[in-house]
Structure 1
Amino acid sequence: MNKREAAKEERRRAIIEAARAMIRETGDAALPMRALAERAGVSQATPYNLFGTKRAIVLAVLQDMDAFNRRYLEAPPVTGPLDRILDALDTMAGMYVADPVFYRIVWHALFEEKGADARSEFEFSRRVFFRHLMQTVAEEGLLIQGLSPELLAMQMEQALFGTASAWLFDYVGPDHLQPLIGFNACLILSAATVPAERAWLEAKMRAHHERLVALGLPSEVPEVPEAAKRILGRR
């Protein structure tokens, strides 16, 4: 990275951090751009030049991999590629559980403005991440021969997205988030990996299942929350 690119990345990082701080302080993701630029120490045009739109800044806050990396590196090290996938998912879910108010504000801001585009952009970013991890699994010969790492990465991302959406709209509580994501991941991986890997994946899946049973899942479909009704009504 040359000096110009480094300076650009520094400004981008300053804007993301300023946006994160303002959302926490105000409880709102509206982000007045003049105040955001002042908080980040950049010109008023810089946020638009680097991100294009206010919504892109909010999306960047949600997708901030630096926050994920810091939490991921603090976790105990894992060895195998399947462990790394499950650990990464658990780390992502843990970020939401540890800071639920902040992440709910950000998710709602994206969905209530333009849900379909928010989902598309979020899926693409996470799919790149999961595709890299799944490709490693394939390279080590742990996938059933002929299965596409790209397709499996898409399924992993959708499992994460679907469970996070259920949490966002109060279909499941914060305590359910990590075991649900873990259960779904083990279910997908145990169906896609070679027989030698299935026993321990199934054991992990059963452990997540037992935790979910102990927590008590809803026995019937709840009423659709108002936030979800507003979004569904636009499609």
Structure 2
Amino acid sequence: MKISAKQKIETRQAILDAAVALIIEKGFRATSMRAIAQQAGVGDATIYNYFPTKEAIFFAYYEDRFAQAAASLQRIEGLDEHSFQERLQAFFEEILHAFLPDREFLQATFHSVFFSIPPNSRELRPIQEPFFATVSAAFAAAREKGEFEDMLFEEIIVRLFWDYCIGIVLYWLKDASERFTATSVLIDKTMDLGCALLRANVATKAYDICSFLFRSHVLARLESMRPGADALKTIVTAFMEGGDGRKSTKR
């Protein structure tokens, strides 16, 4: 019998729900694929048509939750009027809200998912994509409103926000304060600092200082070296003038 797309979605969700419930009840190691299949009401072989391993179920759970948070953010009324900081803080609130019903599940699986494999591994990409897209959109909106100038290393900064998010979730998982007020305060204070640095365009200014020192001292020394250094100087100069997407101004 052919299974409809709707049935596939429902079965997939049943497997995810079963995995969450069993891991909260029994723990990560004591939960088997067979037990998850039985809890979900699917055959022992059927579960592998959806998820090849228990770890794949966990990755799918986090992929869904980050996508849910990104979608919830877009439904906030007046989002376009939010500042960059307000937009990102709202996004982090949506992420924690998405995780809240399954906090015990996160305590059992979060470390194994996000710290057992390299941060740029293909398993993490579907989880990271809605996050990166949301933060990049916040940068684009901030530039349009004149909050930020064009800045170097924006892609790297977006990825640093991912690391920041992982740190916030880890802190939240340990937070015993009432209604997680300590986490809210931490987000407020760290976002204040981070956004102040972004508004000051610290990364670009630091790069300009390093570039100036490099040109003034390293390249000057290369000029005084033997002719064999000319090739190296040419490569370095080309990188400094074009590698960051800007042309230098000769004085």
Question: TM-score category by the smaller chain?
Answer: 0.5 to 0.7
Q: Return 5+ residue gaps in structure 1 as ranges.
A: 196-235
Give the match for residue 140 of structure 2: 139
How many Å apart are 1:40 and its aligned residue?
Answer: 1.8
How many Å apart are 1:96 and its aligned residue?
Answer: 5.2
Tell me the TM-score normalized by structure 1: 0.61
1:33 aligns with 2:13: no
How many Å apart are 1:76 and its aligned residue?
Answer: 6.2
How many residue pairs end up in the alignment? 187
2:187 corresponds to which of 181, 185, 188: 181
Q: Return 5+ residue gaps in structure 2 as ranges.
A: 202-251
Q: Which amino acid counterpart does residue 60 of structure 1 have in structure 2?
A: A
5 Å-filtered alignment, 1:13-162, equals 13-28=13-28, 30-65=30-65, 68-69=68-69, 72=72, 77-79=77-79, 80=82, 82=84, 83-95=86-98, 100-108=103-111, 110=113, 115-117=115-117, 124-140=125-141, 141=143, 142-162=147-167
- Give the superposed CA RMSD: 3.7
Tell me the TM-score normalized by structure 2: 0.58
Cα deviation code 1:48-106 (max 9, x no counterpart): 33222111212333443289449947x96452262332101023234556654332122
* Identity score, percent: 25
For residues 100 and 13 of structure 2, the distance between their equivalents in structure 1, rounded to whole angstroms, comes to 24
Cα distance 1:126–1:182, how it changes in 2: closer, same or farther (>3 A)? farther
How many Å apart are 1:190 and its aligned residue?
Answer: 2.8
For residues 29 and 118 of structure 1, the distance between their equivalents in structure 2, rounded to whole angstroms, comes to 22
Runs of 4+ off more than 6 Å: none
Q: Which amino acid counterpart does residue 90 of structure 1 have in structure 2?
A: E
- Equivalent residues of 1:90, 1:181 under 8 A apart: no
